[in-house]
Amino acid sequence: MNQQPNNPLHGLTLEKILTRHGWEGLYQQIRVNCFNNDPSIKSSLKFLRKTQWARDKVEALYLNTFSDS
């Protein structure tokens, strides 16, 4: 198995990251319609998998909010 001891996102899925924040909180921090207009996990995951810049912002928000540092 590929170990990534220095990667703080290792073992986390996008779905877990999305569920840690509320939709309103995500939309306040990252202004994308999938978090505001009838949000769902399915539509948000589809968007984030296709749109690297948005995924990067979601991951950075997670690290800034929940990091142990």
For 30, phi and psi rounded to 5 degrees?
Answer: -130, 105
Which pLDDT value is given to residue 25? 87
Predicted confidence (pLDDT) per residue in 24-59, tens digit: 889 999 999 999 998 999 999 999 999 999 999 999
Q: Are 49 and 14 in contact (CB under 8 A)?
A: yes
Predicted confidence (pLDDT) per residue in 7-21, tens digit: 778 778 899 989 888
Please give the Cα distance from 44 to 54 (Å, whole number): 10
Confidence of residue 2 (pLDDT cuts 50, 70, 90): low
Q: Domains of the chain by range and CATH?
A: 14-66 (1.10.720.30)
Confidence of residue 4 (pLDDT cuts 50, 70, 90): low
DSSP string over 21-59 = S-HHHHHHHS--GGGTSS--HHHHHHHHHH-HHHHHHHH
